[in-house]
Amino acid sequence: MAGINLEQAQAQLNLWLAASEAVAKKQSYSIAGRTLTLADAADIQRSIQFWDTKVQKLSAATTGRGRIRYGVSE
């Protein structure tokens, strides 16, 4: 799979989880040149969901669980 690999996706997920933790403590957090505050909690949650889905898909692909297998029984 070209593009983002599992390690990159996991690193992004970890960054957004750290941002969520900081904002939950009513602090601000800077990531990629943006400062996020408590008001940005919904944006942080969307990013966590996006990167978590990406990590799950890439993990499944590396373990072979992402493949669909068809069988015919007679």
* C-alpha distance from residue 11 to each of 39, 54, 73 (Å): 24, 11, 43
Per DSSP, helices labelled H in the chain are 6-24, 41-63
29 C-beta neighbours (distance < 10 Å), count:
19
User: pLDDT tens-digit profile of 12-63?
Assistant: 999 999 989 888 887 788 888 888 877 678 898 999 999 999 999 999 988 7
Taking 90 as the threshold, does the pLDDT of residue 72 lie above it? no
Q: What is the pLDDT of residue 2?
A: 60
